[in-house]
Amino acid sequence: MTPVELSSTVLRAVRRAVDEGELVVAVPERAQVVPPGPGGRGDYATNVALQLARPAGRPPKEVAEILRPHLSGVAGVERVDISGPGFLNITLAGRGPALVAEILRRRERYGYVDGPTGQVVQLRHPCEVRAAVIGQVLARILRSQGVLVRNGHAAPAPSAGAEAALEPAWARPLGVTVDAAPGPPETLTPATASTLAPLEVDLRPVPAGQDPTPLGRDAARWALLHPAAHDHPRITDEHLVRREGNPLFRVQYAYARATALGRNAADLGFAAVPGECASGSGPLLDALDSYPHVLAAAARHRAPDRVARHLVTVADALLAFQHTVLPLGDEKPSAAHRSRLALAEAAGTVLAGGLSLLGIDAPTHL
């Protein structure tokens, strides 16, 4: 179902509610259908209940409750949820197989745009380690969204000795494939790029109060990237502990579990095949479905922390789902197990891609 078809479906639901006397309003000419915002879920959201609340003389959530059953019974709609002040969040039937297949097809480039947007951004940052790491990661995120990025310092370039202190070994990018610019630097010629007026962006995050080097590459980068730029980063050993209270550990552990599930399934003689996902998979599907929107928002708001926090959401959803993937006891592998394994592999793919954007390792064993 396309957004245009879904908009017509929403209007028909309003018409049915009016015809049955549940709402006394004029049916609008159009209903806006867009990807869900923060706090939403599913494939699309509509504000039609908020639009009709005043003419109906009812609170928006009450209007949404009236419209929900008229949408829930429609062919092609799997679920309708209400969020915020009265948004209707719509999950389409068949979303799971298509979403999982798309992630497994695109691998770590899921969420990347297909080509250059023509936008050029000149990033500038102070000669400080947190600013350097945030600038480096933001450049990758912007490139994933089709932006040509030029990076530099807001202050004069430091001396060689200062440069070494600014970017120790752990602060440099990992040598991973997704670190390469996905589109614009390869498709825009230098002559073309030089004619585009860059948008100049000065990054001035709150500096790290302590040297993060003793934490090692992964924990140091996470400590600098996970908090919002206006928050003070905590440079403590809490980023090194291997328990669920440490979000970095949960993200890396979830990826390791995804790879372990694949190995264990191979030992049992079955492989991943995208299919209808079992009940209980909704939160994980929602988290995977939201990932491209998170990348776009992180680029738009110059906020790599959004990616780090979303990886925690994906990890927590996968860790809650993982126990349903493999057969139990003498149970034989079935189509349901193959589809669950495909969903777990898709989650692992998103975790690997997100960690690579942050310059953090995705270990297969932990």
Q: What span, in angstroms and rounded, lies between the C-alpha atoms of 174 and 115? A: 24
Report whether pLDDT(356) > 50: yes
Residue among 247, 363, 357 at smallest CA distance from 312: 247
Report whether pLDDT(184) > 60: no
- Band of pLDDT at residue 153, cut at 50, 70 and 90: low
Q: What is the predicted pLDDT for the residue at 171?
A: 66
Domain segments of the chain: what residues? Answer: 3-93, 113-209
DSSP string, 309-345: HHHHHHHHHHHHHGGGTS--TTPPP-HHHHHHHHHHH
Asked if residues 216 and 360 have their Cβ atoms less than 8 Å apart, the reply is: no
Backbone φ and ψ for 148, nearest 5 degrees, come out as -85, 125
More confident residue, 242 or 184: 242
Provide the 3-class DSSP secondary structure of residue 46.
strand
**pLDDT tens digits, residue range 105-141?**
999 999 999 888 889 999 998 889 999 999 999 999 9
The most distant pair of C-alpha atoms in the chain lies apart, rounded to whole Å, by: 76
More confident residue, 164 or 95: 95
Report whether pLDDT(169) > 80: no
Q: What span, in angstroms and rounded, lies between the C-alpha atoms of 359 and 217? A: 9
Residue among 255, 238, 243 at smallest CA distance from 354: 255
Report whether pLDDT(244) > 60: yes
| 120-125/148-153 β-pairing | parallel
Asked if residues 298 and 141 have their Cβ atoms less than 8 Å apart, the reply is: yes
Tell me the average pLDDT across 59-71. Answer: 94
Q: What is the predicted pLDDT for the residue at 44?
A: 85
**What is the value of pTM for the model shown?**
0.73
Residue among 22, 58, 42 at smallest CA distance from 93: 42
Q: What span, in angstroms and rounded, lies between the C-alpha atoms of 282 and 317? A: 9
DSSP letter, residue 277: P
Q: What is the predicted pLDDT for the residue at 168?
A: 62
Q: What span, in angstroms and rounded, lies between the C-alpha atoms of 70 and 201? A: 47
Tell me the average pLDDT across 299-307. Answer: 95
Report whether pLDDT(6) > 60: yes
What is the number of helices (H) and of strands (E) in the chain? 13, 7
Task: Quote the CATH superfamily of domain 3-93.
Answer: Arginyl tRNA synthetase N-terminal domain (3.30.1360.70)
Strand partners, 44: 90
Structure tokens at 38: 């923060």
**Other C-beta atoms lying within 10 Å of the C-beta of residue 150:** 13
Q: What span, in angstroms and rounded, lies between the C-alpha atoms of 191 and 354? A: 32
Residue among 201, 142, 137 at smallest CA distance from 167: 137
Report whether pLDDT(182) > 50: no
Report whether pLDDT(166) > 90: no
